[in-house]
Chains A and B, each alone.
Chain A
Amino acid sequence: MFNKAIIGVDLDGANVRVGKVYNNQIEKHFTLSISSEKTQEYILQEVIQAIDKIFEPNIAGIGIGVPSLVDVGQGIVYNVKNIPSWKEVHLKEILEKRFNVSTYVNNDANCFAVGEKYFGKGHNYKNITALIIGTGMGSGIIIDDKLNSGVNCGAGEFGKIPYRDHNYEYYCSEQFFINQHDINSETLYNRALQGDKTALDVFNQFGCYLGDAIMTILNAVDPEQIILGGSIAKAYSFFQEAMRRRLNDFTYKHTVERLIIEVSEQPQIAILGAAALYFDAQKVVELETVKIQRQQAEDALIQEQNLLRALMDNIPDNIYFKDTKCRFTKINKAMANWFGFKETSQMIGKSDFDFFTKEHARPAYEDEQKIIKTGQPLIGLEEKETWADGRETWVSTTKVTFKDAEGHISGIIGISRDITDRKHAETKLHEYRKNLEIAKKETDNILQNVEEGFFLLNRQFEIKSQYSKSLETILRKKDPANKNLIEILEQNVSPKILIEAKEYIELMFKDDIDEEVINELNPLIETEFTPQSADGIRTVLKYLSFRFRRISDKNGKTIELIATVNDITEHVIMSIQLKKTEAHTKKQMEWLLSILHVEPELLKEFMESGQKELNYIDELLKQSEKGSDYDSCLENVFRSMHLIKGNASLLDLKYFVKEAHGFEEEIYKIKNKANISGSDFVPLVIQLGEMRNNFDELNDLIERIVKIRTHFRPKRSYENKLFINSIQNLITNLAQDLEKDIKFLHNEFDAGFVPYQYRLLTKEILVQLVRNAVFHGIESADERIKLNKNPYGLIEITSFADNNAFRFKFRDDGRGLQIGKLRQKAKESGKWSETEIDQWSDEKAAGIIFSHGISTSEKTGFVAGRGIGMDIINNKLAQHDGKIKVNFKKGKYCEFIISLPLEDKNL
């Protein structure tokens, strides 16, 4: 700063002294006497002229000291001492305009003070009072390195303070020597130098007054240093002692002891001081800058604090500061709220122990102490807080240390965030995941062990990865995941079912069609699983049942199907079996109803004879050889079957009648064929098999019934009655069928006489005779009335017994044998020539009723008309050496007398 070139100007009433100050010294100077009585302008020009003398382009500024009051800010001088015309001169403005450099104006005492500060004794002091004692008394005050001129440049006018009968200036300046001792100080100084006692006394006197003045200064300003200047100062050694002595009376001894009082030794101090105004002004600027900078720093700090406060107040995280004993020193609002306080101050000084259980506070304290000790931060620690009231919360905490100005750890800054909700969510998530795992395990268990095949199917017919293990077995396909169901089915179901299945599954994915409706159409509900062998042959392996249900997304759109497939083979086979059984049961029920009215004994007889006949038929078939035998075989078979039919009819066993009749029809069919071959007998043998089964079944049924009825076994007489009843039943049924009215007379027939071995045969014969009589013999009621007969027909049976034979008679009062018709039939049969027949007697003609294939019935029916019956009777009787005799009277009656030897040759 001091290497700038400044012009200092000292103006007093007589001269203007100008010097160029550079590098702490005056490089050149110039003095000009001024015409102090002249006008303001004139003197101003003289001052300018003097400055011009040494002004150079490198001059940085001008400082002027003036013996007057000065408006320092505007550089205006007022009522300059000894220059009457200078009442108010805008010196700063004028000179700055003229020289175009910064110009500073101040009064001479202030110039002296800054001169000493920058270039003299005041260099090392901050608070200085520079006191000029010369023609008057003036002073300049430096406070904190800075000139303090006062508001009106009037500061430091200690001389004007009243003292004794005048003021300090009167006793502490040249005025004192002149007014009190009529001598100037210069002369007195010279005398004192020569030891003049009076002179020394006067200076002593002066020192006392100056001491008082300094005490006033001490009271007012309390500087570190007082620098004395001015013409009287050089006599300092003569008044110093008195002055010091006087100061000893000052109230604050310490102030006086520390006070430095020195005398200015710089002869050019007035010019230097004026130049120093520039530096003082710069100092002010500098200080001002420092002040602004400090202010700015403070503002920044405040702003930073505000930001920090805003951050702390608004952040939802808890922020806190703790001292090294882990007590809260500062916390934010969130933290206070977290702890249930309204004000942050309520928590200051407290610690975790005041809020949490010991179990939580203790380890937290130890953690924090460790952080303080090691300086190792703790980042993102998730802590469970257990509160004194038992509440539990979770926080994520970061704790770091902070240091004081010396770099020592002075506490902890902590930020914690409430993660209770997150923790709860995590716990729930964990539980959920655990449950999910359990559910998955359970699902897997189900899928591994369930018997049904389960799988999911997408729109592309692909089986998804989740399926039950048994699906592999059911579909006979290893690892069916991601395989196409249609392709799997293609190998295992018929092409027709495959097409239907594909269409059906496609329909299942069409959301506009009602699921329940298409379910009805499921073509795979009972699917034959028929794997195709290499030669293209399909074999039913099993039956599968597929069922499909839709799986929809939240918009109701079908995304997949869940399918179940079951092996229902057993079920299907069972239902087939069941159907069979049902039919069978139905049949048996039918039988049961039809046989309930029939006596078991009779049924047994029927069955035994039936089975015998069937075996006989089978034997006939077995024995038959080729073509030529076919006719006689068929004839024999027919006879046996006709017998069965007759017996069934006798007991009113309609089912068997029908079956036997069907069999007979079948025989006719074969007979009518041109070339009979063995395979033509197939229907017969099949029916034979069926009948045999039926007889076996009937046998079982009867045996069961017999067992039940054993206890109620009828007496012999009852059996005899049954014998008659069965014939009676037959007559009633047949008469009803043919719409005839017939009475049955049996008083003379004792069933008890019928030998046991002939019971069946007797019955068979009676059955055949009844059938012939009802059908052929007895006329209708109308016809009978026309013939003058009773409207009802009569059938009468009579039994006889002697030692050798059992005999019985059968008689009806019908039309008798129709000889004419019999002759005609005989001719039609082609068995005899016509001439031969014409020559027959009536008896001979009547005998042909015992030949096979002769019947006079117009049409065939269950009852008669097949031209068989009598020949059977004849055959049977022949087997037992029995005899039959026929008597008749045309239009009146017909009777048969049968005789059976008591000793049966077959037994």
Chain B
Amino acid sequence: MEITHTHSKSHTGYGGYVLIWLILIGLTVLTVSVSGIDFGNATLPLALLIATIKSVLVINIFMHIKHEDKIFRLFIGVALLILIVAFVFTAFDVFFR
């Protein structure tokens, strides 16, 4: 058999995953019910904030990043930074043209 056993440690238990799923469903219900209310300029940021919280939960728990080596967080950080730079520079061009 294989010599190297680089098993990731046992991640979250069944119950932990179900809990995260419940929170994700709750946030979905929240974002839908909140969308009916007019918060003016805050409506879009609020929807994006909820989506970001959901993403953080999915990445950390479902995608096991919480239990993974630090190198994964570094990789994801760099990738997100590149994406944010692309967004910010395009936004500057589009918004202040």
Q: A and B: real partners?
A: no
